[in-house]
Amino acid sequence: MFSPIHHTFAPLGDLSQCLLAFALTLQPWKYKRGAAVKRLERALAEKFECEAYTFGSGREALLALLKALKVRPGEEVIVQGYTCVVVPNAIHASGALPKFADIAEDTLNMDPASVEALMTPRTRAVICQHTFGIPADTTRLRALCDRYLPGRQAGGAVLIEDCAHSIPDQNQSMGYSGDFVILSFGRDKAISGISGGAVLSRDPATTMELRKIQGTAVDHSMWTICRLLQYPLFYAVARPLYGLWIGKALLKALRSLRLLIPILDVQEKEGSMSPVLHRIPNACASLALAQLRSLRKINDHRRMLTRFYFEEARKRGWRFPGAILPYSLLQKFPLFFPGAEQLRRALKAENIHLNDGWTGCVICPENIDLGKTEYVPGTDPAAEDVCVRILSLPTHPKTSLRQARRLVEAIQQQIDN
């Protein structure tokens, strides 16, 4: 009853992650370095049949890759509108310019026709994001990237798949077509190490550069790693109390004491990114590895809730992206409602918190400095239209089927009122 329905309260912090985080907290010698980093890289390399290099976060993994590709100032990287600000920030930090392709409403992914219109001899890479786990059209994007770009010495552009939101366990729907793949082990991603990310490479020359760049990455401080490890533990205490004032007060206190590390710092919200790359802490690699080993179970839960929302939405006549299937593997289930923001606000009174940061903005979250991202309003009309109508429902392991039932009933009640 007091436990909230939410997107961002340690959504992957289940009992086994809490126990492991607690055990790791007591072993500070395992914080920075240890065997887990190599084990995680080996497991990813085996799964995706490529080379894997880990970094401190997904955004750092992307920056490391763009550095390894030696992108030059003035070169362009195509990314979709409706993305997280850290993606254009990493592009800027590499010296390249982001170009924003529009999305297709039925996939929330980049529209290949819009990508084609943006491709020039300056295009160095296309970052194809599998938004919320809906697979992007990698076949068409692959063909576009492989096409010779007149005036470009090296031929075409590289295809980078961004699998931050979803890692498949049963098929090769995502992560197998790109020259490179970016993964995030952030707290609310496909799997969580609280923090961390990886680049997967299928290009031998870039692989060598990545290895060199990884060698220059620095460790996070012990204090930072210790705070990262407390994240699932703090939420395990605060979550059940969130419906009472005490849970909210506890989280507020933890934030103001800086014991909870924000996902975006002030500099990132203002559109820039530190050029310093970090190693993934060994402790975070341990957590991510444990979740990678439980990928099937995590994904089965997401598929179960996706099917439930799919059937309920169909039955109730709610709109959602056409590419979603009953068995899709979604990080969250997007619905379209004209008054999505009002609905979200009304649901808060019922301890239902559906603001996931991907609402009301083309470059997310809403409170960033849009001007600094170089996104020009009006560029991507479909993305601008979708982002104000979207209402996403959680599929993560901390959302039970019972809560999902309560959620759809609460939405229906608000619509009927």
Ligand X SMILES: Cc1ncc(COP(=O)(O)O)c(C=O)c1O
- Helices and strands counted in the chain (H then E): 16, 11
Min dist CB 235 to ligand X, Å, is 17
In this structure, how many other beta carbons lie within 10 angstroms of the beta carbon of residue 50?
A: 20
- Tell me whether residue 197 or residue 281 sits nearer to ligand X (CB atom): 197
Residue 13 CB, nearest approach to ligand X (Å) = 16
DSSP at 312 = H
Q: 4 or 197: whose CB is closer to ligand X?
A: 197
- Distance of closest approach, residue 258 Cβ to ligand X, in angstroms: 18
* Residue with the CB atom nearest ligand X in the bound state: 58
Contact by Cβ (8 Å): 8, 188: yes
CB of 84 to ligand X, least distance (A): 4
Pick the closer one to ligand X by CB: 264 or 335: 264
| CA dist., res. 117 & res. 101, Å (int) | 9
Structure-block tokens of residue 237: 């205490």
Query: 52 — phi, psi (to 5°)?
Result: -125, 135
Closer residue to ligand X (CB): 87 or 251: 87
| Residue with token string 């809730």 | 305
Q: Write the CA distances from 126 to 54, 66, 77, 175, 332, integer angstroms.
A: 21, 11, 6, 14, 24
- Name the minimum Å distance from CB 71 to ligand X: 17
Q: Which is nearer to ligand X, 85 or 149 (by Cβ)?
A: 85
CA 164, 170, 176, 180 torsion-angle sign? positive
Question: 51 or 60: whose CB is closer to ligand X?
Answer: 60
Measured from the CB atom, the residue of 83 and 201 that comes closer to ligand X is: 83
* Minimum distance, C-beta of residue 195 to ligand X, in the bound complex (Å): 7
Is the distance from CB of 183 to CB of 61 less than 8 angstroms?
A: yes
Least distance to ligand X from the beta carbon of 264, Å?
Answer: 8
User: Angle at which helices 282-293 and 15-25 pack, to 10 degrees?
Assistant: 160
Footprint on this chain of ligand X (rule: CB under 6 A): 57-59, 83-84, 86-87, 129, 162, 164-165, 184, 186, 197
What DSSP string runs through 196-225?
A: -EEEEE--HHHHHHHHHHHHH-BPPPHHHH
Q: Decide if 182 contacts 197 (C-beta within 8 A).
A: yes
